[in-house]
Structure 1
Amino acid sequence: MMFFKRLLTFFLCVLYVNAANLKQIHVLFRHGERSPRSTYPKDPHKDFKWDGGLGQLTNNGKLQMYILGQELRNHYNDFIPKYYWPVDVNFSSSSVARCLTSAELVGAGLFPPQDVQIWNPDLLWQPIPIHYLPRNVDNLLTMKSNCTEYDNQFRQVHNSSKVLQYNQAYENLYEYLTIHTGMTVDNIETVESLHNTLEIYQMNNLSLPYWINDTLMAQMKIIAAQNLAIYSETNYMKRMKGGYFIKTVLDLMKSSLNSKKVPSINMYAAHDLTLVHVMRALDLIDTLKPELGATLIFELYDDEQIKVYYWENWKGKIEEQLLPHCRTICRVEQFQEGYQEFIPENWYEECQVKI
């Protein structure tokens, strides 16, 4: 008898959830494949001519982002309107060129002009404005705004026993990489940078040097993820980085529920570190090295329920995330209560920033 009661409760919950209508989405994605940001002295490909220069989207990256837009259109076709209207859609981006370009390409895949919006029949594309802040004041996506206490804690983390243990554990690896790269490798940040470069070479069918193998690449990826994590090591650091993005999403959700005119489709083009900041503030991960094009989605329903999804890349499955600080059915009020410690009330006051 108890089994049937539980089964009935389950189906009632499913019916209740399915009855709710999607009201707003927030889509945070990492930019597409890029060229290396740097090389190293003994790099056999250091003179390779990358189209557009270092740190820019490759043609593969451009296609990735365009397809991401198309896949989002397919996934949310019943929610996203056929026509692009600025009042319904907002695109925000890091000020870095590869993110701005990624935002444009996702927009192109998401909103190809149709009917009256076709302005050139030979070019099925329409301009969509991308909003961004200068890097030094962007606390939403680049997350590089000055924050005095954050900077203090970051220095403490870099001098902490945890980072010291990392350096001791990887001492032999550092020496090995220093010998073969011709540059000083003595910290996990440099390992991450080197891993990024080598990974891009792999993606572009450029041969890796003889001293690199799959095992070493896998180890370097783990170290790269550890480096990304130390930028949000303490709860305060999580609050000031990923927490501000979460607050922004939450404020827009509340405005939507209060019938204020805010966009129902909110797109954010950013970086791997941005995704790590937000996911660590949500307590979804310990460490992670997000793939190029990795996507985190927040959904708001008209019954005030919030759902969060992670999409490793557009070829994979969109997977719902269990929010550790909220109930199985997580509503806005419960979400805010559960994550209160990680959501700043006034970011500028807490960071001692004058505006």
Structure 2
Amino acid sequence: MRAALLPVARAASLGLSFWLLLSWLDRGAVAKELKFVTLVFRHGDRSPIETFPNDPIKESSWPQGFGQLTQLGMEQHYELGQYIRKRYRKFLNESYKPEQVYIQSTDIDRTLMSAMTTLAGLFPPEGVSIWNPSLPWQPIPVHTLSLSEDRDFIETLPTFTGCHTQDLFGMWTKVYDPLFCESIHNFTLPSWATEDTMIKLKELSELSILSIYGIHKQKEKSRLQGGVLVREILKHMKSAAQPSNHRKLVMYSAHDTTVSGLQMALEVYNGILPPYASCHIMELYLEKGGYFVEMYYRNETQHEPYPLTLPGCTPSCPLTEFAKLVAPVIPQDWSTECMTTSNDQVLRVVLAVAFCLVSGVLVVLLFTLLRHGPCWHRDPYRNI
């Protein structure tokens, strides 16, 4: 009889252990609570902003004209919206709540449309939100504010393109960018636009981004560019840590230079142009009475976002420590700081560095820095 009771006792013991395990897991889940999310994403696939004079593909070849979000771009952002819904299904309400969600975009058609399409995937109308049974969409407000190769390669480009510029950023917008857009949409590229040429142009375009943010006085330039956005995000996080806060999600629809500028300021930039619909994710958690920041980068749809770690901190970085580490890149008075860099100062830097460099491409890069300076790319987004 006693032997018969052993399996029962063992089963009861296992049941108690299982219950204790579930309780422990439940406490662990409750211990880490998501409190706030910031998303900064690039617009989706678009038509070229402009092109070189000899390009046989003219603006009339693009249904909406130059610089507009394409249907492929719409698909990319609808998918992004669906992913955000999936990732935060336990955090966000099923229906849109204006007190919980805020969306801001640059005042450019493609970023505004990207934001709207993302919201269509994130908040499809359900229940009382359905206002037209035949239209699975609801209007949601989007807020905005008025807006490495040698020199021989560079010098041969005007012959093929008819575009006489040796400005790296101009070369990107007028040569590489239109060719890239045309290749995505299966246009026939000029015979000189070989795979090797496109690789060289891509490397130059990435160098143009570094000319804006990197190489010389990276911290100083990060303050004047990505630091402004860091300040805004940090302000929202600190507000989210207050008991009276109701906002859960802030989204910024912007450009590749916005994403790369933010990542450069945070020292997590991988040196590659952010692809269409790429998204930098920042999450604020409450755990054991303290607030922690986690960052992720979604730059492809076939892979979960890659975790990012702020240098000097842990992957789950205490908010107080995060604020201390990013303080050097946050400008206190952007206008005043931007004015402190005179043309003479930039010229002295350019001449000093140019003396030490032998690469023709880098010399061109230095002239780009002289021409534009660290404050150049702060206001307009029209070329990105």
> For the superposition of Structure 1 and Structure 2, which TM-score range results when normalised by the shorter chain?
0.7 to 0.9
Unpaired runs of 5+ residues, structure 2, are 1-23, 341-384
Contact 2:222-2:264 within 8 A present in 1 as well: yes
Partners of 1:339 and 1:243 in 2: CA distance? 8
Q: Structure 1 pair 263/177, CA: closer, same or farther in 2 (3 Å)?
A: same
Q: Does structure 1 conserve the Cα–Cα contact (< 8 Å) formed by 2:41 and 2:277?
A: yes
Q: Cα gap change, 1:214/1:17 in structure 2, threshold over 3 Å: closer, same or farther?
A: farther
- More deviation, 303-312/281-290: 281-290
Q: Which amino acid aligns with 2:158?
A: T
| Pair 1:78 & 2:78 matched | no
CA distance in 2, matches of 1:100, 1:69: 14
Partner in structure 2 of residue 288 of structure 1: 272
Q: Distance in 2 between matches of 1:347 and 1:251?
A: 16
Distance 1:212 1:326, change over 3 A: same
Match among 310, 323, 326 for residue 297 of structure 2:
310
| Partner SS, residue 317 of structure 2 | coil
* Deviation of 1:18 (Å): 7.8
Question: Which stretch shifts more, 254-263 or 107-116?
Answer: 254-263
Aligned residue pairs total: 308
Cα separation, 2, equivalents of 1:316 and 1:44: 37
Match of residue 208, structure 1, among 175, 179, 189: 189
Contact 1:24–1:301 under 8 Å retained in 2:
yes
Deviation at 1:56, TM superposition (A): 0.4
Where does 1:297-336 land on structure 2 (aligned, <5 Å)? 297-303=281-287, 304-336=291-323
User: Cα distance 1:297–1:328, how it changes in 2: closer, same or farther (>3 A)?
Assistant: closer
* Alpha carbons 1:293, 1:314 under 8 Å: kept: no
**Superposed counterparts of 1:192-207, under 5 Å:** 192-193=172-173, 194-207=175-188
Measured in 2, the distance between the counterparts of 1:99 and 1:74 equals: 22
- 1:184 and 2:164 correspond: yes
Instruction: Please say which of residues 289-298 and 318-327 is displaced more in the overlay.
Output: 318-327
Unaligned runs of 5+ in 1: 1-11, 136-165
TM-score normalized by the length of structure 1? 0.82
Deviations 1:228-269 (A, max 9, x none): 122223312101211111111111111111223352111110
Superposed displacement of residue 17, structure 1: 8.4
Match of 1:229 in 2: 210
The amino acid of 2:199's aligned partner reads A
The 2-side partners of 1:212 and 1:17 are apart by 54
Cα distance in structure 1, aligned partners of 2:244 and 2:210: 36
- Paired letter, 1:170: D
The alpha-carbon deviation at position 42 of structure 1 amounts to 1.3
Partner of 1:32: 44
Corresponding letter in the other structure for 2:47: S
Work out the CA distance in 2 between the residues paired with 1:200 and 1:316. Answer: 24
Change (3 A) 1:349 1:191: closer
Q: Does 1:112 align with 2:146?
A: no
Given the alignment of the two structures, is residue 276 of structure 1 paired with residue 260 of structure 2, yes or no?
Answer: yes
Counterpart-to-counterpart distance in 2, 1:107 and 1:86: 12
* One-letter amino acid matched to 2:200: Q
Quote the RMSD (CA, aligned, Å). Answer: 2.0
Kindly report which structure 2 residues correspond to 1:245-264, keeping only aligned pairs within 5 A, or say none.
Answer: 245-264=229-248
State the TM-score, normalized to the length of structure 2: 0.76
- Say which one has the larger Rg: 2
The within-5 A match list for 1:164-175 is: 169-175=149-155
What is the one-letter code of the residue matched to 2:316? Answer: I
